[in-house]
């Protein structure tokens, strides 16, 4: 499955938020969307999903305009972890994760055996079995992130889009989530994630898309996109580069 976005333009309040942004995501890829705060990353994700109105451009899913797809069909094909982690209802972790199976349900029927098996797989992936009986209102920010990620995983869609999936997580769970997303990509799922941790982006992701001021300014291999020149120009930082266990790493080290 392939998602293609071309010349996506979004404006609000008399200014451009996205300016002719292009992005593609294919099955089996783990793609990172990077850039400084305010670059337009979250807006681009929402435009890809048809959740933000665009003034120009097109988003195609396997050659079909995404807005022509019924909402439930779209939800079966693309799972989404939003940046906003709020859950307004007093639901248990189990109920929240089971919401990920809603696009597969028929009418008012209850969960099927397939639904319960998908939920179990998603919870095992995030090590969230101990969280499902507790109201989500009492979970920590990191615990809630894991439950909401499990909800997205439970969809078992061919594409997964995540907005800052490691926000509010401790280092152990940051690594766990990056490993989960990379494993999903290796299993054939196309994964696109906004990420601010450039060291993890360099280490885990196949391709990076760099944004600045609403535009996509670079796309390619992590070491090419996060070059010293790009770091200084876009982020205003110098990086410390190296290789450990055969894997390149990058640490933002000082401000320019």
pLDDT digits (tens, 9 = 90+) for 205-235: 999 999 999 999 999 999 999 999 999 999 9
- pTM over cut 0.85: yes
- pLDDT, one tens digit per residue, over 241-256 is 889 998 888 999 999 9
Is it the case that residue 143 has pLDDT exceeding 90?
Answer: yes
- Domain 2-255: assigned CATH number: 3.40.50.300
Does residue 69 carry a pLDDT above 90?
yes
108: pLDDT strictly greater than 80: no
Cα–Cα distance measured from residue 144 to residue 140, given in angstroms and rounded to the nearest whole number: 6
The domain ranges of the chain are: 2-255
Query: How far is 202 from 246, CA to CA, in rounded Å?
Result: 13
Collapsing DSSP to helix, strand or coil, 119 comes out as helix
Using the predicted structure, report yes or no on whether residue 139 has a pLDDT greater than 90. yes
Whether the CB-CB separation of 240 and 43 falls below 8 Å is answered with: no
Q: Tell me the average pLDDT across 55-79.
A: 94
Other Cβ atoms closer than 10 A to 130: 10
> What's the distance, CA 104 to chain centroid?
21
């Amino acid at each position: 499955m392939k998602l293609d976005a071309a010349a996506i333009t979004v404006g609000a309040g008399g200014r451009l938020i996205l300016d002719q942004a292009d992005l593609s995501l294919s099955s089996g890829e783990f793609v990172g969307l990077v850039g400084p705060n305010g670059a337009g990353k979250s807006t681009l994700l929402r435009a890809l999903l048809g959740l933000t109105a665009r003034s120009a451009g097109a988003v195609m899913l396997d050659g079909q305009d995404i807005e022509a797809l019924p909402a439930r069909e779209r939800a079966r094909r693309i799972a989404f972890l939003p940046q906003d982690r709020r859950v307004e209802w007093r639901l248990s972790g189990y109920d929240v994760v089971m919401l990920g199976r809603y696009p597969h349900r028929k009418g008012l029927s209850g969960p099927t055996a397939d639904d319960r098996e998908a939920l179990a797989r998603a919870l095992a992936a995030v090590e969230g079995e101990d969280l499902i009986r507790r109201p989500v209102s009492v979970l920590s920010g990191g615990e809630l992130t894991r439950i909401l990620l499990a909800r997205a995983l439970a969809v078992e869609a061919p594409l997964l889009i995540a907005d800052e999936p490691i926000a509010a997580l401790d280092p152990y769970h940051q690594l766990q989530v990056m490993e989960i997303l990379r494993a999903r990509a290796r299993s054939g799922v196309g994964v696109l994630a906004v990420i601010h941790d450039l060291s993890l982006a360099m280490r885990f992701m196949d391709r990076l898309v760099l944004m600045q001021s609403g535009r996509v300014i670079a796309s390619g291999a992590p070491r090419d996109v996060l070059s010293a020149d790009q770091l200084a120009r876009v982020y205003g930082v110098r990086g410390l580069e190296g290789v450990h266990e055969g894997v390149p790493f990058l640490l933002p080290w000082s401000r320019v």
